[in-house]
Amino acid sequence: MTTYTSATDADRRAMLDAIGVPSVEELFADVPQALRLDRPLALPAGMAEQEVYEHLRGLAARNVSAEDEVSFLGAGMYDHYVPAVIDMLMGRSEFLTPYTPYQPEISQGGLQVMFEYQTAISELTGLPVSNASVYEGPSAVGAAAYLAKLANGRLRVLASRGVHPYSRETLTTLARGYGQQIEEIPLREGATDLAALIAALDEDVGAVVLQQPNFLGAVEDVAALAAAAKQSGPTHPLVICACDPIPLGILKPPGECGVDIAVGEGQTLGNRLDFGGPSFGFFAATQEHLRRMPGRIAGETVDVDGRRGFVLTLQTREQHIRREKATSNICTSQALNALAGVVYLSWLGRAGLVELGELLLARTAYARERLTLLDGVEALHEQPVVREFALRLDADVARVRERLAAEGINAGYALGRDYPEHPDGLLVAITERRTRADIDRLADALGRAVAAEREVAHAGVGA
Amino acid sequence: MSSREEPTLTIFQRGAPGRRAFAAPVLDVPPAPDDALPADLRRATPAALPEVSEPELVRHYVNLSKRNFDLDSGFYPLGSCTMKHNPRLHERVAALPGHARLHPLQDPARAQGALELMWNLQQALGEVAGLPHVSLQPSAGSHGELAGVLLTRAYHEDRGEQRTKVLTPDTAHGTNPATVTMAGYEVVKVGTNADGGVDLDDLRAQADEQVACLMLTNPSTLGLFDANIAEIAEIVHGVGATLYYDGANLNAIMGITRPGDMGFDIVHFNLHKSFTQPHGGGGPGSGPIAVSERIEPYLMRPQVVRREDGGFDLDHERPKSIGRLRGFQGNYGCFVRAYAYIRSLGAEGLKDASETAVLNANYLLALLKREGVAEYLPVAYDRLCMHEFVLSGAPMKRELGIRTLDLAKRLLDHGVHPPTVYFPLLVEEALLIEPTETETRETLEQFAETIAELLREAAEDPELARNAPTSTPVRRLDEAAAAKRPVIRQELAAAG
C-alpha cells in the first residue's frame, strides 16, 4: 500500500497526548456509533507505485488512441499537435499545485497568466471582455444563455441546429433551471436557415445561439445571421456564437460580426484530447456585459509601492461574495488548461495562427475534393469549410467505419445518432497532423469500403 | 517598466515583429482554391497575438511561475480546499498516450480501458459515499451541486410536484446559494445552533412542502461533525425533500462514515480536493456525484454501463435523464488521477488519510490553544474538530490592533500560505485552517510557532503586520482601484 502520510507510531502517540485523547478513534466521538462504518470500505487493497503504474498502463493499452490509428475523428475535439513547451510548463509545481489565487502577493505568476490569456481571447474573438476561463465548450454555451437571461430576462432562446448537439442538450438541461425554452432553427443546405431565423424572432427571444463553423463543418455567415437578429426589433436578443478558436485565425472574428458573446471549446489550443477533458471553455463579451460575466477575471492594478500587479477583480459578481445573487456559481474553473491555451497561442504567434488556418483550409479542401470523387460518396453540403466537412455515403456508415477501423483508420464521426435526418452522414476532420499521405490512404480505404458495402447491399437485395 | 527584464511585462509586450516559435508543417497539397473561403467571411487582419521566439516564450513563463507560491514549496493550510500532496505518479499515468490522446468520441469498443477505469472509479466513489449510482460528468464541485439540484427538480416534477425553495445553512459555501438560484429555486437560510450544528428548531420551522432540498456540508465549514444528522435527515425526508451532501469536506470521513448511511440522497465529490487532482492555480477540477436509488433514473446522459459479457459501454438511452451538463464524458484526465490515488491507497489507506487529516487538525488546534495564541485567536467552537477548525481573530484585532487579514499577509513573509480568511461568515475575523494528512508533525509545530511569534511581534510592533507582506514579489495590491476602473487585458498600443 502506498501512503502519502508521515505520522509514525511515535508521532501519533505524542500528538494524541497533546490533544488529550487516548486514541484516534476518540477524535471521531461526534460521529454517532450507529452511523460509523463497521467494516472496511469494499475496495481493492492498496498497491505500490510501480504496480499502480502497470495497472494504469494496462488500461491505457486497451484504448485505441490517436497515436494508434490514423484518425479523422473531430466533432468538437481535435487531434492537434501540442508543443513540448506546454508539457514542461504545465508540469511545473508553481503552475500545477497552487489553489485559486486568493492571496495575490504570492500568486502574481498565475494572475498575470490569466491577464495574458484574457488578452489573447479578446484579440482572437474581437471582443473586449474575456474571463479567465469556464469549464469547457457546451457548458460555456449554457453560461452565455444564462447571461442573456440576466441581461434581458426573456425566456425564448433560438439555437441553430448547427450548434453542437451536446451544447444544445446542455442548454436544454440548464434551461429547466433557468426557466428558458430552447427552440431550434433548422439548417438549410448545411447552414443555418436565415429565413427560418427571421420568422422565429419576436420580442420574447432573449438569445440567438450560433456556432462557427457549425457542427457539420460549414462556415456560417454569422454577420448576416446576427444582423437579422438585431433587426428584429428595438430591444433585440443577444447573439451568442460558439466558435472553434483555430479557424478564427482566418475567419472574421465574432466581434466584427455583431456577436455579443463568443464562447467555445478551448481544447484545440494546446490541450490534450484526454477522452474529453479537462480542457477549458472561453467566454468573451462586449463591454456592456462586463459586470454580468461568470467566473474569475484578472485585473491590473498597483501595489502600495506603485508597482504593477494583478488581482482577481470584480469579485462582487461571484458566489463567494454575492452568494445567491451571484452571476454564476462557478468557483474552480480551468486555470491550468487556460495557461496551455495562452502558451499555445503565443507559440503559434501572430503569423502562425494564420498559417495553421491556411494549411487546414488547403488540406481540408484537398480531402473534400478527393473523397467526393469516390463512387458512392458525395458532399452532404456545399458550404465553405475550414477543417471539417460532412459526407453522405451510399452505404451503411457504421459498417464502412468498421471496415476502415480494421485497417487502422478512424474515418470520422457518424452523424446518424445526433442527426437522424442524415443516417448516411459522416463528419471528417482534418488537423495539421493528417498529411496528404494520410488523406490519400483514407480515400483509398473509403473507396474500397463503400464499394464493398454496396456490393453486400446489392447481394442482399438480390437474395 | 522600461526594462525588458521587468517581470510584469506581459507576453504581448515582449518579442518583435516577425519573431516566431512555430514552424508550419510542409504544405503537401495544392493551395486552397480562391473560392474555398469567400472574402467576406475572412478575417481582414491577423489576431494581434504575441511574436516571440521559443526561448523567449519559455523564459517568460518560467519566470512568471517563480512569482507563484505553490503546494510543493510550502505549507498551504487553506481551509475547505484540502491542499494535500499531489503525487507525481498521477501525472505520469495521465500522460500515457492511451489516456491522453484518446478521442472522447472513440467507439466504446475501442475505448474499453477508459470505460473500465470510469466504471471502477464509479464503483469506488459509490462505495465511499454509501450511494450506489455515480455520474462522473460534472466539471467541478459547483457543477456537481447544479447537477444535484437539477436532479432534485426532475425528481419532484416526475412526481407531479412543483417545489420552490432550497434550504442552506448560513455556514454554507457560497456556491450552494448561487447554485440554488441558477437552478431556479429560492434560497432559504437555516440557522446554526450554539454547538455549530444545524439549528433543529429553525429547520423544523422552515421545512414544509415547498422545500425541494436541504444542501448540507458535514462536517460543516466550521470543521464540526453534526451529530444530529439522522434527525436532520428525518425532518427533511418528512416533508418529501431531498438531502444534498456538499463533498468539499469529505476528506474527514472516508472509510469512517458515509453520507448515504447518514441519509443523504445526493453527494458531490471534489476530485481536486480529497482525491489529489492538482488545483492548477484555479482548475481543472472534477465534481462527480453519487445518488440513491430514487434519484438514479434522472442521472445525466451518457452513463458508463457494464454489459453482460463483461464489456463496457456508454448508455445514451435514459428516458428520464436530466440530459447533459457539458460535452463528452467529463474530465477524464482527473478520473485517471483520482483512480490511481484510490488504487494506491486502497480501503485502508483512504481511512488512514482521513484519520490522519483529523489527527493533524486536532494536533494543530491543540498547539494553537496554548498561551500566547489562544487569548488572541480563540477557537470559535471549543471541542474536538474534524479535518479543519475555525479561529476567531476578533480578540487579536481588539487587543493587538491587527486584523485577520494582516496576520494572513504577515504569514506570506514566512513562506506559509495563509488559511482561508473571513469564511465562514458566521465567525468574526475568521481563519479556517485545514492542514491535511500529508503534512508532517514538524510542519504543524513550525506553523504554530510562527503564529505565536507573529502575535508576539504584533504586540511589540503591529505596523509590521499592517504593512506586510514585504518579501513577496509585490506588496499589498489596490483591489478597489482594480474593480473601479477595470483593466482586464493588455492594451496593445503599449506593445514594444
Q: What is the pLDDT of residues A226-239, one digit of tens each?
A: 999 999 888 889 99
The structure's pTM equals 0.97
The sign of the torsion formed by the CA atoms of A159, B331, B322, B249 equals: negative
- How far apart are the CA of A119 and the nearest CA of chain B, in angstroms? 5
Picking from A26, A296, A349, the nearest residue to B21 by CB comes out as A349
Q: B78: which DSSP letter? A: B
Distance, CA of B424 to chain centre: 16
Three cell numbers written together for B299: 442521472
Chain A residues near residue B143 by CB distance under 8 angstroms: 135, 139, 330
A388 interfacial to chain B (CB closer than 8 Å):
no
Average pLDDT of chain A to the nearest whole number:
97
Chain A residues near residue B66 by CB distance under 8 angstroms: 94, 109
Q: Pick the residue from chain B with its C-alpha nearest to A223.
A: B41
Over residues A210-214, mean pLDDT: 98
Q: A443: which DSSP letter? A: H
First to last CA, chain A: 62
Chain B residues near residue A119 by CB distance under 8 angstroms: 10, 12, 489-490, 492
* φ/ψ of residue B402, rounded to 5: -120, 145
Helices (H) then strands (E): counts for chain A: 13, 17
- How far apart are the CA of B255 and the nearest CA of chain A, in angstroms? 6
Q: What is the pLDDT of residue B64?
A: 98
- How far apart are the CA of A172 and the nearest CA of chain B, in angstroms? 8
Residue to substitute from B9, B19, B29, interface A, most A β-carbons within 10 A? B29
Picking from B49, B257, B344, the nearest residue to A47 by CB comes out as B344
- Give me Rg for the CA atoms of chain B: 26
Chain A residues near residue B323 by CB distance under 8 angstroms: 169-170, 172-173
Three cell numbers written together for B196: 455549530
Q: Do B281 and A335 touch (CB under 8 A)?
A: yes
Query: A261 and A284 in contact (C-beta within 8 Å)?
Result: yes
Chain B residues near residue A353 by CB distance under 8 angstroms: 46-47, 49
Chain A residues near residue B11 by CB distance under 8 angstroms: 116, 342, 346
Rounded CA separation B122/B335 (Å): 10
Using CB atoms within 10 Å of the CB of residue B202, give its burial: 0 to 12 exposed, 13 to 18 middle, 19+ buried: middle
Indicate whether A463 pLDDT > 70: no
Three cell numbers written together for A57: 498502463
Three cell numbers written together for A254: 465574432
Q: A315: which DSSP letter? A: G
Using CB atoms within 10 Å of the CB of residue B18, give its burial: 0 to 12 exposed, 13 to 18 middle, 19+ buried: exposed
Picking from B22, B336, B417, the nearest residue to A348 by CB comes out as B22
Rounded CA separation A323/A216 (Å): 40
Residue type, B82: T
Picking from B101, B111, B347, the nearest residue to A67 by CB comes out as B101
What does the longest C-alpha to C-alpha distance in chain B come to? 81
Nearest to A294 by CA among A334, A245, A339, A235: A334
Q: What is the pLDDT of residue B5?
A: 65
Residue to substitute from A331, A432, A438, interface B, most B β-carbons within 10 A? A331
Give all domains of chain B, ordered by start, each with its CATH number.
Answer: 11-65 (no CATH), 89-344 (3.40.640.10), 349-480 (3.90.1150.10)
- How far apart are the CA of A296 and the nearest CA of chain B, in angstroms? 9
- Residue corresponding to grid cell 440522497: B265
For residue A210, give the H/E element and its range. strand A205-212
ipTM: 0.98
A349 interfacial to chain B (CB closer than 8 Å):
yes
pLDDT digits (tens, 9 = 90+) for B193-209: 998 999 999 999 999 99
Rounded CA separation B113/B454 (Å): 53
Query: A226 and A239 in contact (C-beta within 8 Å)?
Result: yes
- Residue corresponding to grid cell 493587538: B400
Rounded CA separation A286/A288 (Å): 6
For β-strands B186-190 and B165-169, DSSP reports them as parallel
A254 interfacial to chain B (CB closer than 8 Å):
no
Picking from A93, A137, A384, the nearest residue to B41 by CB comes out as A384
Nearest to B207 by CA among B195, B197, B198: B198
Chain A residues near residue B174 by CB distance under 8 angstroms: 318-323, 326, 331
Chain B residues near residue A75 by CB distance under 8 angstroms: 105
Q: Do A177 and B475 touch (CB under 8 A)?
A: no
Three cell numbers written together for B392: 476567531
Chain B residues near residue A114 by CB distance under 8 angstroms: 282
Rounded CA separation B373/A239 (Å): 57
Three cell numbers written together for B458: 504584533
Chain B residues near residue A359 by CB distance under 8 angstroms: 24-25, 27
Query: A254 and A241 in contact (C-beta within 8 Å)?
Result: yes
Secondary structure class of B410 (helix, strand, coil): helix
Q: What is the pLDDT of residue A345?
A: 98
Chain B residues near residue A368 by CB distance under 8 angstroms: none
A15 interfacial to chain B (CB closer than 8 Å):
yes
- Residue corresponding to grid cell 489576431: B47
A116 interfacial to chain B (CB closer than 8 Å):
yes
Rounded CA separation A221/B137 (Å): 33
pLDDT digits (tens, 9 = 90+) for A367-400: 999 999 999 999 999 999 999 999 999 999 999 9
Return the exposure string of A166-198: e unless at least 16 CB atoms fall within 10 Å of the residue's CB, then b. bbbbbbbbbbbbbebebeebebeebbbbbebbe
Rounded CA separation B190/B202 (Å): 6
Picking from A20, A96, A112, the nearest residue to B8 by CB comes out as A112
Three cell numbers written together for A150: 440576466
A214 interfacial to chain B (CB closer than 8 Å):
no
- Please identify among residues 72-91 of chain A the ones whose CB lies closer than 8 Å to any CB of chain B: 73, 75-77, 79, 83, 85, 87-89, 91
Confidence of residue A153 (pLDDT cuts 50, 70, 90): very high
Residue to substitute from B119, B487, B488, interface A, most A β-carbons within 10 A? B488
Query: A202 and A188 in contact (C-beta within 8 Å)?
Result: no
Q: Do B96 and A57 touch (CB under 8 A)?
A: yes
Rounded CA separation A59/B117 (Å): 7
Chain A residues near residue B135 by CB distance under 8 angstroms: none
**pLDDT tens by residue, chain B, 496 residues:** 345 568 899 999 999 999 999 999 999 999 999 999 999 999 999 999 999 999 999 999 999 999 999 999 999 999 999 999 999 999 999 999 999 999 999 999 999 999 999 999 999 999 999 999 999 999 999 999 999 999 999 999 999 999 999 999 988 999 999 999 999 999 999 999 998 999 999 999 999 999 999 999 999 999 999 999 999 999 999 999 999 999 999 999 999 999 999 999 999 999 999 999 999 999 999 999 999 999 999 999 999 999 999 999 999 999 999 999 999 999 999 999 999 999 999 999 999 999 999 999 999 999 999 999 999 999 999 999 999 999 999 999 999 999 999 999 999 999 999 999 999 999 999 999 999 999 999 999 999 999 999 999 999 999 999 999 999 999 999 999 999 999 999 998 644 3
- How far apart are the CA of A221 and the nearest CA of chain B, in angstroms? 7
Rounded CA separation B138/B259 (Å): 19
Q: What is the pLDDT of residue B2?
A: 42
Using CB atoms within 10 Å of the CB of residue A459, give its burial: 0 to 12 exposed, 13 to 18 middle, 19+ buried: exposed
Picking from B32, B257, B326, the nearest residue to A139 by CB comes out as B326
Confidence of residue A47 (pLDDT cuts 50, 70, 90): very high
* φ/ψ of residue B488, rounded to 5: -120, 10
Q: Pick the residue from chain A with its C-alpha nearest to B370.
A: A18
Q: What is A225-284 written as a DSSP string?
A: HHHHHHTT-SSPPEEEEEE-TTGGGTBPPGGGTT-SEEEEE-TTTT---GGG-S--EEEE
Chain A residues near residue B336 by CB distance under 8 angstroms: 56
Chain B residues near residue A301 by CB distance under 8 angstroms: 477-479, 481-482, 487
- Please identify among residues 22-51 of chain A the ones whose CB lies closer than 8 Å to any CB of chain B: 24, 26-32, 34-37, 40-47, 49
- How far apart are the CA of A457 and the nearest CA of chain B, in angstroms? 24
Give all domains of chain A, ordered by start, each with its CATH number.
Answer: 70-76+350-462 (3.90.1150.10), 85-344 (3.40.640.10)
Secondary structure class of A64 (helix, strand, coil): coil
Secondary structure class of B25 (helix, strand, coil): coil
A307 interfacial to chain B (CB closer than 8 Å):
yes
Contacts with A205 (C-beta within 8 Å, 6 or more apart), sequence order: A154, A156, A157, A158, A229, A232, A237
A398 interfacial to chain B (CB closer than 8 Å):
no
Nearest to A19 by CA among B362, B197, B449, B322: B362
On the question of a cis peptide bond just before residue B259, with omega within 30 degrees of 0, the verdict is no
pLDDT digits (tens, 9 = 90+) for B139-192: 999 999 999 999 999 999 999 999 999 999 988 999 999 999 999 999 999 999
First to last CA, chain B: 11
